């Protein structure tokens, strides 16, 4: 990932609120297309210009070729607020972020995230590295907002179960049980992404609890009931994989070494 600095200059008299609305709308459109990562997008007023620093998957993430229709419309609306299109400067690699996937042909991919991660929730199954969402066809309505919203909901449930103070059991149910609303949304997204990319796309099911290590190792696919245990763990996360149901899961974190 890379840190990118943007500078928005005003070309006529305008109000701070009008310029702020137009710029923040653009930032959100970039975010919903996967071109900008994270939800914290600080914007400052420095004399007569607005400045912000963003995290992008690649140095060229904000190139017009990756723009969604929503991004292009937001860029054109800047002039209505008296703001020029931004000047961009790549500051360098962000050392606290993941490297993106560089596979030319991914054999499979997985929809996976956590409350700690702001990177793309679509990962290469072979290397477990994030795949920039703008590198795949738009999932719906021209961008990837549905994927980002699913990721936000998943991360919110993950945060609740990690905190363990309120709604812990309901959150765990949403994260790891087929048939829940969060599961159905993730499953539908996986099917859509697989159709668009022609790459097998799996959904990750979170697993915690269980009676014993032995019983966990004998777990069967919760969707079809068939054996799905792997001989070796993949990426220290995936211990179960059902090719028929396009599901993966971990050995319960209570028993995982």
168/63 same-domain check: no
CA distance 238 to 128: 10
User: How far is 215 from 210, CA to CA, in rounded Å?
Assistant: 8
Structural domains in the chain (count): 2
Q: Which residue has the tokens 């991004």?
A: 71
Establish if 31 belongs to a structural domain: yes
The reply to whether 77 and 191 lie within a common domain is no
| 3-class secondary-structure state, position 135 | helix
- Summary mean pLDDT of the chain: 95
Confidence label for 108 from pLDDT (cuts 50, 70 and 90): very high
pLDDT category, 104, cuts 50, 70, 90? confident
Residue 212 has pLDDT above 80, yes or no: yes
Check whether residue 139 and residue 229 sit in a common domain.
yes
User: How do residues 35-90 score in pLDDT, each as one tens digit?
Assistant: 999 988 999 999 889 999 999 999 999 999 999 999 999 999 999 999 999 999 99
> Alpha-carbon distance 58 to 175, whole Å?
29
Domain of 79: which CATH number? 3.30.70.100
Q: Longest Cα pair distance anywhere in the chain, in angstroms?
A: 70
Mean of pLDDT values over 246-251: 97
Residues 73 and 135 in one domain: no
CA-CA distances (angstroms) from residue 90 to 56, 62, 86? 10, 10, 13
| In the predicted structure, residue 257 carries a pLDDT above the cut 80 | no
Q: What is the pTM of this model?
A: 0.94
The residue range of the domain holding 80 is 2-93
pLDDT confidence of residue 21? 96
d(CA 188, CA 182): 10
pLDDT at position 37 is 95
**57: Cα within 13 Å, side-chain hemisphere:** 27
For 109-151, write each residue's pLDDT tens digit.
Answer: 999 999 988 899 999 999 999 999 999 999 999 999 999 999 9
In this prediction, residues 103-108 reach a mean pLDDT of 92
Residue 12 falls inside a structural domain: yes
Of the residues 93, 128, 157, the one at which a domain ends: 93
Residue 205 has pLDDT above 80, yes or no: yes
* Rounded CA separation 110/193 (Å): 10
Q: Residue 64: how many CA atoms within 13 Å on its side-chain side?
A: 7
CB count in 10 Å sphere of residue 92: 9
């Amino acid at each position: 990932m890379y840190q990118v600095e943007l500078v928005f200059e005003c070309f006529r008299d305008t109000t701070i609120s009008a310029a702020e609305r137009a710029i923040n709308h653009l930032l959100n459109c970039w975010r919903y297309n996967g071109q900008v990562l994270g939800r914290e997008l600080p914007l400052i007023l420095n004399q007569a210009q607005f400045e912000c620093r963003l995290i992008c998957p690649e140095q060229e993430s904000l190139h017009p070729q990756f723009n969604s229709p929503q991004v292009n419309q937001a860029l054109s609306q800047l002039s209505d607020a008296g703001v020029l299109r931004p000047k961009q400067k790549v500051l360098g690699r962000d050392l606290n972020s993941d490297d993106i996937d560089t596979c030319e042909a991914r054999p499979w991919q997985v929809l996976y995230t956590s409350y700690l991660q702001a990177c793309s929730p679509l990962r290469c199954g072979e290397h477990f590295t994030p795949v920039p969402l703008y590198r795949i066809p738009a999932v719906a309505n021209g961008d990837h907002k549905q994927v980002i919203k699913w990721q936000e909901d998943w991360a919110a449930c993950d945060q609740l179960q990690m905190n363990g103070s309120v709604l812990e059991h309901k959150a765990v149910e949403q994260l790891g049980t087929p048939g829940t609303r969060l599961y159905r949304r993730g499953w539908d997204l996986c099917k859509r992404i697989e159709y668009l990319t022609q790459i097998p796309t799996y959904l990750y099911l979170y697993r915690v609890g269980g009676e014993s290590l032995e019983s966990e190792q004998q777990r069967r696919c919760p969707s079809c009931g068939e054996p799905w245990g792997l001989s070796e763990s993949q990426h220290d996360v995936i211990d179960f994989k059902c090719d028929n149901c396009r599901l993966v899961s971990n050995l319960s974190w209570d028993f995982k070494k």
